[in-house]
Structure 1
């Protein structure tokens, strides 16, 4: 059986194009996640697809970056599938892990996907640094008035009571109490 897996990074994105490709490649069951590919956390449909797959089945994706964005994750998923006797196919990259060439391409493209993720992070950090330098990025706005919290504590109110009245965690109250 061919089992499809599609992933988009956010709820604003649409998985229709991936599902169409998977259907054209004979996929019978499709699992769809709307989550980042940089980690397996929050990707419940990927876990379901892997559990659903049986020996002799194939997990089919359109591209490897839909499956994982890091080489360790890609290898972990691949090893999990191998242990179950499940093949992996990436339709748009002509990757089929049942062949030596397919395994080579799988490893190379996995490394490239991880590299792209690292580059994107670097560009984002550079953009934030430039925005800070130009005064356009100020970080998260202050939502708690530290002077009022310190005044409430100075009036003899207990930290738990102060936290409740300001709608903050006790740790926030203690942080303001120790940073005068």
Structure 2
């Protein structure tokens, strides 16, 4: 019986240590992720200030297709389906929110 108590204690202790290590590694990974995101945001901000970062160019063909479909009377979802884009993109084009 002495062996089972020792094995049980050892098992629980190893389980606790493993849990602690996993939590510690997860915390380190999260911190690393947040640092990379922060550095990326700083780089983008700096590039924008220097006029080097402008984002993705507007797809003029997509804009023309979406406007034509909307003028033809199609709804937002139908337009998105026919133009092969998201409903959010259709709404942005419709509302003129995308800036170029």
TM-score bin (small chain): 0.5 to 0.7
Post-superposition shift, 1:119? 5.3
Scaled by the length of structure 2, what TM-score is found? 0.52
Residue 154 of structure 1 deviates from its aligned partner by 0.8
Equivalent residue in structure 1 for 2:80, among 147, 159, 163: 163
The TM-score normalised by the length of structure 1 is 0.34
2:76–2:91: 8 Å Cα contact kept in structure 1?
A: yes
The answer to whether structure 1 residue 148 and structure 2 residue 65 are counterparts is yes
Give RMSD over aligned pairs: 3.4
Structure 2: gaps of 5 or more residues = 1-10
Q: 2:39 aligns with which of 109, 115, 123?
A: 123
Q: CA deviation at 1:173?
A: 1.8
Name which one, 1 or 2, has greater alpha-carbon Rg.
2
Q: Name the structure with the higher strand share.
A: 1
Aligned length in residues: 81
The correspondence of residues 1-180 of structure 1 with structure 2, limited to 5 A, is 55-57=12-14, 58-59=17-18, 61=21, 64=24, 66-69=25-28, 114=31, 120-143=36-59, 145-179=62-96
Structure 1 residue runs without a partner (length 5+): 1-53, 74-113
